[in-house]
Amino acid sequence: MRVIRSREYRHMPWKNGGGVTLEVAVGPPDAGLDDMGWRISLAQVDSDGPFSRFPGIDRTLSIVRGHGMQLAVAGRPTVTVDPQSHPYSFAGDAAASVKLVDGPVTDLNVMTRRNAHRHVVQRHRMVERRELALRAAITGVVVVEGSATVDCAGVAARLDPLDTALLFPDAVKAMLTATGPSTVLLIQID
Q: What percent of the chain has pLDDT over 70?
A: 98
Q: Which residues contact 95 (CB under 8 A, 6 or more apart)?
A: 50, 53, 73, 74
Specify the CATH superfamily of domain 119-189: Jelly Rolls (2.60.120.10)
What are the tens digits of pLDDT across the range 17-34?
A: 667 799 999 999 989 888
User: What pLDDT, on the 0 to 100 scale, is given for residue 9?
Assistant: 96
Strands 155-159 and 88-91: unpaired
Per CATH, the architecture of 8-113 is what?
Sandwich (2.60)
User: What pLDDT, on the 0 to 100 scale, is given for residue 144?
Assistant: 96
Count of beta carbons in the 10 Å neighbourhood of residue 141: 25
Beta-strand runs (E) in 14-118: 20-27, 38-45, 49-50, 57-65, 69-73, 79-81, 88-91, 96-100, 105-113
- Where in the chain are the domains? 8-113, 119-189
User: What pLDDT, on the 0 to 100 scale, is given for residue 172?
Assistant: 78
- Section 82-106 average pLDDT: 96
Same fold, 8-113 and 119-189: yes
CA–CA distance, 11 with 37 (Å, rounded to integer):
19
- Please choose, from the candidates 100, 113, 171, 101, the residue with its C-alpha nearest in 3D space to the C-alpha of residue 138: 171
CA–CA distance, 109 with 26 (Å, rounded to integer):
12
Confidence (pTM): 0.94
Strands 182-189 and 119-126: antiparallel
103 pLDDT tier (thresholds 50, 70, 90): very high
Residue 167 bridge partners (DSSP): 139
User: What pLDDT, on the 0 to 100 scale, is given for residue 147?
Assistant: 96
